[in-house]
Amino acid sequence: MLVLTRKKGERVMIGDDIVITVIDVRGDSVRIGLDAPKGVPIQRAEVVAAVAEQNRAAAQTDDAAAETLAGLLGTLPAPQPATDDAAR
């Protein structure tokens, strides 16, 4: 990790097309501005981690939920094939 000291208004460049500008410093908080091409995704790490955790939790199933879902799907009427009259 590269660690830099910057003052308000100073910038850091990443490559030729990404610029990070220190906007404001208040106590232990730093406001930064990011200029990058539209195709470059910029995400806050804590948001990415929270979404990943929610996705992992949503992908987990327990046996009782799977059995309940299978039971519910088994009670649905079977789909009927379309007839020529219905297509008209």
Any domain includes 50: no
Report the SS3 class of residue 13: strand
Domain count of the fold of the chain: 1
Domain containing residue 16 = 9-37
Any domain includes 4: no
Question: Between β-strands 11-14 and 18-26, what pairing exists: parallel, antiparallel or unpaired?
Answer: antiparallel
Measure the CA–CA gap between 42 and 63, rounded to whole angstroms: 38
Any domain includes 72: no
Any domain includes 13: yes
Higher-scoring residue by pLDDT: 80, 23: 23
Any domain includes 15: yes
20-79 pLDDT tens trace: 999 999 999 999 999 999 999 999 999 999 999 999 888 877 777 778 888 888 776 777
Q: What is the reported pTM?
A: 0.60
Q: Is the pLDDT of residue 11 over 80?
A: yes
Query: Where would I find the H helices in 4-44?
Result: none
Report the SS3 class of residue 69: helix
Q: Is the pLDDT of residue 81 over 90?
A: no
Any domain includes 64: no
